[in-house]
Amino acid sequence: MTSRERVKMALEHKKPDRVPLDLGSTMVTGIQASMYAKLKKALGITGGFIKLYDPYQMLAEVEESVKQTLGVDTYGIQLPINTFGYKNENWKPFRLFDGTEVLISGHFEYDILDNGDIVQYPRGDRSAPPSARMPEGGDYFDTIVRQEPIDENKLNPKEWVEQTYSLYTDEELRFLEDTSDWYFKNTHYALVGNFWGAGFGDIAFVAGPHIPYPKGVRDPEEWYISSIFRKEYIKEIYRYQYELEMKNLEMYKEAVGERIQVIVMSGTDFGSQNGPFISPNTYREIYKPLHKKMNDWVHTHTQWKTFYHTCGSVVAFLDDFYEAGVDILNPVQISAKGMEPEFLKQEYGDKFVFWGGGIDSQHILPFGSPQDVESEVKKNLEIFAENGGYVFANVHNIQNKIPTANLLSMFNTFKDF
């Protein structure tokens, strides 16, 4: 089978010739740049450049040579605008703390503080306060909370949305059309559209890392409190966001047509390590109706499958996700409470495509032996791959400082399976 045929069968809950593999098609199935450099070296791949397409999580663009060597089946259609609001272009050299040489956008503006930390600026705008900090020796940036004093009488939901999100420009739509057209005609990859417009309350954007002077509630802790104590404010934000993103969704469809097979809808986390991040009733009241409307539109107007990323223990939401029309669950955090692969496949294997869950990324991959990794990957593949409905990937992005032997064991075991 071609990669596109293979993924299509998996999405239809049919068993393909082998389990499809994803690495790098989304911002939640990627690999940190330093680890990527080590992987390339271990695979014997020389040449090329390590480009940071996401200078927030420091994710590397996965090159064609690596995709072919590993047997990756997916390609992500992603706009060249990153989390900090500037375009990935005019690449310039940058050195990570561990000495890894990478290329980063020419719009990346940063300072090194006296304590060795690095701060960077939203949209590369040095006239604004820095919006992210990488601690000295760190591997990625943390958002700097720039919460202004809250005046309850001046909270403006529409202003919050207009600062945070925007309608696609003609240039962006042309990019989506041209990129999806080229990769559809010239490759056999299954194409994954990175839309993200259903990410209501996605905490990565709440603090506004791309906004020079964010207004409204921007402190993540205050944000979660607001879902109870400022519920109407939050609901109004989501209503405006929904209206804007539905316009974007329609334009997205016009741009990419049926060339993509998967559309990434949301990155909002609803689970913590041990249980729900918010109450299921809050999800049903605030989020579920909007998710259902957007998923219904996708299923009515396209053949795409909807991809939802939500970390943690989300067992309490699974029936609601299904009723809301979610097709694909990621990252499948199998180390969270109640998220055992056997349970998920037995109870929900006919309802969701599981995309991820390849290995316990909190314990086994970073701290186990290569033999532990082999055993874990085999076990999870045997469970999730039965009767299709599975795409193999790590649980979330592959982080730095994982033993290279363990990472090779993960990919080799997958290949042998």
Q: Which two tokens stand for residue 354?
A: 């599981």
pLDDT tens-place string over residues 61-105: 999 999 999 999 999 999 999 999 999 999 999 999 999 999 999
- In whole angstroms, how far apart are CA 190 and each of 4, 259, 391? 4, 9, 11
Please tell me the predicted confidence (pLDDT) of residue 401. 96
Looking at the domain assignment, is residue 346 inside a domain? yes
Rounded Cα gap, residues 313 and 335, in angstroms: 9
Domain count across the chain: 1
Q: Return d(Cα 390, Cα 73) in angstroms, integer.
A: 13
In a domain, 118, yes or no: no
Q: How far apart are CA 170 and CA 149, in angstroms?
A: 37
- Provide the CA 132 distance to its chain's centre, in angstroms: 19
- Nearest Cα residue to 207 out of 140, 148, 283, 286: 148
Query: In this prediction, what percent of the chain has a pLDDT beyond 90?
Result: 100
Confidence at residue 362, expressed as pLDDT on a 0 to 100 scale: 96
Residue 270 pLDDT level (bands cut at 50, 70, 90): very high
User: In which domain, by residue range, is 273 found?
Assistant: 3-28+71-78+150-416
pLDDT at 311: 97
Q: Is residue 77 within 8 Å of residue 180, measured between CB atoms?
A: yes
Give pLDDT tens digits for 190-246.
Answer: 999 999 999 999 999 999 999 999 999 999 999 999 999 999 999 999 999 999 999
CB atoms under 10 Å from CB of 131, counted, come to 27
What is the pLDDT averaged over residues 168-180? 98
172 assigned to some structural domain? yes
Cα gap 304→301, rounded to integer Å: 9
297: tokens are 């539109």
Is residue 187 domain-resident? Answer: yes
List all residues 6 or more positions away from 228 whose beta carbon is below 8 Å from its beta carbon.
Answer: 282
pLDDT at 34: 98
With contact defined as beta carbons under 8 Å apart, do 139 and 401 qualify? Answer: yes
Sign of CA dihedral 337, 205, 365, 193: positive
CATH number for the domain spanning 251: value is 3.20.20.210
Please check whether residue 361 lies inside any domain of the structure: yes
Report pLDDT for 186. Answer: 98
Mean of pLDDT values over 153-170: 98
Under the banding of pLDDT at 50, 70 and 90, the label for residue 49 is: very high
pTM for this entry? 0.97
80 preceded by cis ω (within 30°)? Answer: no
* pLDDT score recorded for residue 345: 98
Tokens 């004093």 belong to which residue?
149
Q: Coil, helix or strand for 304?
A: coil
Q: Is residue 65 part of a domain?
A: no
Residue 357 inside a domain? The answer is yes
Give the position of tokens 């299921």.
280
How many angstroms separate the first and last alpha carbons of the chain?
16
pLDDT at 35: 98
The answer as to whether 62 is a domain residue is no
pLDDT for 307 equals: 98
Looking at residue 55, its pLDDT comes to 96
pLDDT mean over 326-352: 98
